[in-house]
Amino acid sequence: AQRVTQPEKLLSVFKGAPVELKCNYSYSGSPELFWYVQYSRQRLQLLLRHISRESIKGFTADLNKGETSFHLKKPFAQEEDSAMYYCALRGGSEKLVFGKGTKLTVNP
């Protein structure tokens, strides 16, 4: 079974502080992992995919297969980063499963 766990419902940081949004997964095969973001009154959109090893808007995420984690990090949070963040896993059956999401608030 595919499962994604995001342990924090809410995360609040000050502008300029580092931020880490946690994501753990459960999947017996080789997973494909993503981070999606939903800004206020906007559609859900892709932020990062693990295979690209890219940095988008200063965010990075590393897949740790040993710890089955895909945490999202940014060294210096900005107010415009305030949003709902979802970790997602796609397995071999093409199911795309999401975690419960973490609401990030960056305070001035």
Partner 1 sequence: NAGVTQTPKFRILKIGQSMTLQCTQDMNHNYMYWYRQDPGMGLKLIYYSVGAGITDKGEVPNGYNVSRSTTEDFPLRLELAAPSQTSVYFCASRNANKQDEAFFGQGTRLTVV
Q: Which amino acid is at 63?
A: L
Would you say 19 or 102 has its CB closer to partner 1?
Answer: 102
H or E segment and range at residue 28: none
Residue 2 CB, nearest distance to partner 1 (Å)? 9
* Beta-bridge mates of residue 65: none
Comparing C-alpha atoms, which of 15, 14, 7 is closest to residue 72?
7
Q: Does 22 contact partner 1 by CB under 8 A?
A: no
Q: Which of 28, 29, 40, 43 is in the footprint of partner 1 by CB under 8 A?
A: 43
Q: Is 5 helix (H, G, I), strand (E, B) or coil?
A: strand
- The DSSP code for 50 is G
The tokens describing 28, both together, are 């017996």
Q: Which of 81, 86, 104, 106 is in the footprint of partner 1 by CB under 8 A?
A: 86
Give me the 59-78 binding string for partner 1, x by CB under 8 A, dash otherwise.
Answer: --------------------
Q: Which of 49, 68, 69, 105 is in the footprint of partner 1 by CB under 8 A?
A: 49
Query: What's the distance, CA 9 to chain centroid?
Result: 12
Under the rule (CB under 8 A), what is the footprint of partner 1?
A: 6, 9, 32, 34, 36, 43-46, 49, 51-52, 86, 88, 93-101
